Chains A and B, each alone.
Chain A
Amino acid sequence: MTEAEIRQAVKDAGVKLLENNLVQGTWGNISIRIDDKKMVVTPSGMDYIRMRPEDTVVVDIETLEYTSDVKPTSEKKIHAAIYRDRPEIGAVIHSHPLWSSAVAAARIEMPVKDERHRKLIGDSVRPGAYGLPGTKKLTAGAVEAIKGRNACFLANHGIVVCAPTIEEAFEVCRAMEECSRDFIESFVRKDLGKEEISVEDIFTVFNKKIK
């Protein structure tokens, strides 16, 4: 892929994230590796619909330097650290999906039971240490938690996934959401002793827990 094609792919991925409710508003960020030295990342605080391919930013994976007038995402450090650590990785997505974010807010490790999901994600998903957006603590936590896997939770924040291609990274995002929903609903099924559950059933268990 040329740099222009990569910029377009990053833009398209942003729109896809928004359309699939994997992010809301301007949050989340995406990158695609150009080569060993450079990556294309989304800009900071810009609406994915309004964002043009030329608004994406080429960032040096080693130094984090960029020449564009547009400021890159503050989470570029997480993206760069994953590319430095994992030569096989070609795309990284940080998203805020519904059910995965719920597990991220509990700050616990989630087992991955479905064989289909295990192939995409790994055996389990660990939470990275809590840190404010853009901080070293958040980056270090994410890099540690994603080691040996293709996904991790960011405590009280969302998820980071990585894969050889942007299409595969999307598959990991989707698998994370399915797996997280099933994980949460399994507690409700077990508590109420029934297989089919509704939002009301989730609240039944929630109300018991907060009493």
Chain B
Amino acid sequence: MKEKIISQMLDFCAALEANKLVARGDTLSVRYKDGMFITPSDKAMAEVKAGDIKFLSKSDAADGNDGLHLAIYGTRPDINAVITNHAPFCVGVAASCKSLPAALDDMAQIIGPTAKVSPDGDALTVLRTLKGRNACLIRNGGVVATGRTLDEAFTGSMVLEKGALCYVGSTVIGKSVKIGLFDALLMRFVYKTKYSKKDQTAKQQELKA
């Protein structure tokens, strides 16, 4: 299982780079036993090798980026993977807005009715901002995207960047029509409990096999 997780982490490092979502300092992690595997923050994702990925236990002293990942796993049992990224439209929205409303149904489903903007990168502040959502933005920082699997955290990163582009683009040409809160919550409920359940369960099982 350990080898499969690390191999998958390297695949998603490459995918994040290929989609131009990351900058130096960004990391991804996967929950494992009483801790997590995490990529180094001092290497570009494209340069990360299997040997660079370290295991940190929840009892290890960690601060900064590592501390944030551990804090998320410690408080959110529903999350098994975390990605920090610097997707360009998300970074722009984080600098200008208090939250990114869901202008598209896929963002409402995988992230939530909004992605809120944390005023800073402090772990406790980020955890509060992330409550009830699968991602949040950080003012003058980047993006924290999470998921039940690394695949879901990656898809969430892609969908959030598209959601930011759509909010900005639709505002530029007229008006971004937001999805109503009831519809957004309903779609998120259906996504989590029905639409994605089989696919996500199969992906979790594959890692354990």
* Residues B158 and A24 in contact, CB atoms below 8 Å apart: yes
B 156-185 binary contact with A (CB < 8 Å = 1; else 0): 001100100111111111111101000100
Q: Is B62 an interface residue (CB 8 A)?
A: no
Are A106 and B174 in touch, CB under 8 angstroms? yes
Q: Are A156's CB and B177's CB within 8 A? A: yes
Q: Is the CB of B166 within 8 A of A102?
A: yes
Contacting B at CB under 8 A, from A176-207, are 183-184, 187-188, 199, 202-203, 205-207
Residues of A within 8 Å of B152, CB to CB, are 25
User: How far is A24 from B87 in the complex, measured between Cα atoms in Å?
Assistant: 15
Chain A residues with CB under 8 A of B96: 203, 206-207, 210
Is B186 on the interface with A (CB-CB < 8 A)? yes
- Contact between chains at B179 and A102 (CB < 8 Å): no
One of A1-9, A83-91, A93-101 at the interface: A93-101
Given the interface contacts A101-B104, A199-B88, A210-B96, does A156 sit within 8 Å of B179 by beta carbon?
yes
B169 interface neighbour in A103, A107, A133, Cβ under 8 Å: A103
Measured between beta carbons, the chain A residues less than 8 angstroms from B92 are 199, 203, 206
Asked if A157 is at the interface (CB within 8 A of a chain B CB), the reply is yes
Q: Within 8 Å CB of A24, what residues of B?
A: 106, 155, 158-159, 162
A29 within 8 A of B: no
Q: A202–B173 contact, CB under 8 A?
A: no
Contacts A24-B159, A26-B196: A184 and B105 contacting too (C-beta < 8 A)?
no
State the interface size on chain A (CB cutoff 8 A).
40
Q: How many residues of B contact A (CB 8 A)?
A: 40
Q: Which residues of B contact A26 (CB under 8 A)?
A: 195-196, 199
Task: Produce 1/0 per residue, A3-27, CB < 8 A to B.
Answer: 0000000000000000001001111
Tell me the complex Cα distance, A47–B69, Å: 27
B207 beta carbon closer than 8 Å to chain A: no
Q: Is the CB of A105 within 8 A of B172?
A: no
Contact A108/B105 with A25-B155, A203-B168 known, Cβ cut-off 8 Å = no
The answer to whether B172 touches A133 (Cβ under 8 A) is no
CB-CB contacts below 8 Å: B175-205 with A: 175-177, 179, 183, 186-187, 195-196, 198-199, 202-203
Minimum CB distance partner of B191 in chain A: A45
Residues of A close to B97: CB separation below 8 A: 210
B165 touches A98 (CB 8 A): yes
Q: How many Å from the CB of A127 to the closest CB on chain B?
A: 10
Closest to A27 in B: B106
Chain A interface (Cβ < 8 Å from any Cβ of B): 21, 24-27, 44-47, 50, 96, 98-99, 101-108, 130, 132-133, 155-158, 183-184, 187-188, 199, 202-203, 205-207, 209-210
Q: A24-B106, A105-B166, A206-B96 are in contact. List 9 more A-B contacts (CB 8 A).
A: A24-B159, A26-B199, A45-B196, A47-B203, A50-B202, A108-B174, A132-B105, A199-B92, A209-B171
- List the 3 closest A-B pairs by CB distance, nearest first: A102-B169, A25-B155, A105-B103
